[in-house]
Amino acid sequence: MKVVHAIPAWEWRKGYPGHGAWKDIMGRLSLWSAMGLDVEVVDVDVERPESLLCRLTAGSSDLVFEYTRWPELLRAARAKVPGLRIHVRAHNAEGLQQWHRRGETSSGAAPGLRHLWGTIRAVRADIGTKRVADTILGISAWDNDNYWSRLPGRARVVEAPYFSPWRELEKEGEPVEWSQRRSMVACMPGGRGVIECDMIASFARFASVAVRRPSGMALEFGVTNAVETDGPEGPLPAPLTALGDVGNPWSFLRTVRGVALLSELGFGTKTTVLDALDAGCRVIAAPAIARRLPAEARERCLVLRSLADREVDEVLDRMHDEPAPTNVNARLRERAREALRGVLEGWQAERSPSDSTPARLATR
């Protein structure tokens, strides 16, 4: 078995350590080593198909490709190595993600034709990818059930959950004891697009209620600089504090008490939730965010369904209590490993190419 793991050059080179896809890829790289597989990691320029094709040989058995945006590149790979098995990592339900990111906001603003066209293009790419690939490695069971499995195409749909790679990347950075942590609830947007701005606005609405409640008066509510943004950030609404660039996200998470993700926008798995849980933080999540998490992580979150005083008080009271130790990240890492092992080593049974029901992995 010879596996080629293809990573788009722009993702590989920018190396934002807080960016969800970057962290997800780092976790996958750590699994290759742990599984003892012969994996060649390829830096692919998606505008130059030859940057991938020249690395594929008759001996290549499997291609693991990051993102579902380039079905034409996958078709070229299939044409060069007809027996190649292609497994594509879906970081989001891309069509739905584009609808939220480019158009719809929680304020109800209607998307323009440009936003609609961006969504259509994303869905077309997803369908094209599902038609040529053998496997869609979905990051979220919710996305798999409600999006990927409903698209036409031959590919099997498999959940390969995100797990936080930080303990492997930062072996010296253990979580700080609860009593020594900063009494901070943080919002950590990845950028300053529609979804991220809605994250901040939703967080501000929560904080404006929380600071007036007895359990919230002792807490700080801060927003870190966007991971993908250089230069100064825009002004934040009261009562939020600008935390600036916190550097390595893990170094920050292991020193604070909580993280909040309160926007209903976006799909996939919010990777910051898993990072925060593994760092020993409390996590406050909007219902839609919680629904799209793995069950192991969802049950550890404080789900905020409204800004009613009673609901806010219940969440704030828990922010002062140290959470019980958890092995959620280890369990998700093992599930991700088993998913990759399953698609690379084979399936329990052959199925019709038209059957896109989520597949059950073989037990070996």
Q: Are residues 296 and 175 in the same domain?
A: yes
| Pair 83, 108: CB distance under 8 Å | no
Q: Which two tokens mark 129?
A: 């990818």
* 259 and 336 co-located in one domain: no
DSSP 347: B
Statement to judge: residues 124 and 188 lie in one domain: no
Q: Could you tell me whether strands 182-187 and 220-224 are parallel, antiparallel, or unpaired per DSSP bridges?
A: parallel
Where in the sequence is the domain holding 229, given as residue range(s)?
167-319
263 and 301, same domain (yes or no): yes
Instruction: Tell which residue, 168, 157, 223, 205, has the closest CA to residue 26.
Output: 168
| 311's tokens | 């609901």
Domain count, the chain: 2
Write out the chain's pLDDT in tens, 364 residues: 899 999 998 776 666 677 889 999 999 999 998 998 889 999 999 999 999 999 999 999 999 999 999 999 999 999 999 999 999 999 999 999 988 876 544 444 455 666 788 889 999 999 999 999 999 999 999 999 999 999 999 999 999 999 999 999 988 789 999 999 999 999 999 877 888 889 999 999 999 999 999 999 999 999 998 755 544 456 888 899 999 888 789 999 999 999 999 999 999 999 999 999 999 999 999 999 999 999 999 999 999 999 999 999 999 999 999 999 999 999 999 999 999 999 998 743 333 333 344 333 332 2
Tokens read off for 37: 């597989």
Report the distance separating Cα 227 and Cα 48, nearest Å.
28
Tokens of 268: 């996939």
Question: Looking at the structure, do residues 92 and 189 belong to the same domain, yes or no?
Answer: no
CA nearest to 292, candidates 280, 303, 279: 303
Question: Do residue 204 and residue 88 come from a single domain?
Answer: no
Q: Give the integer Cα–Cα distance in Å for 129 and 34.
A: 28
CA angle, 148 then 267 then 165, to 5°: 100
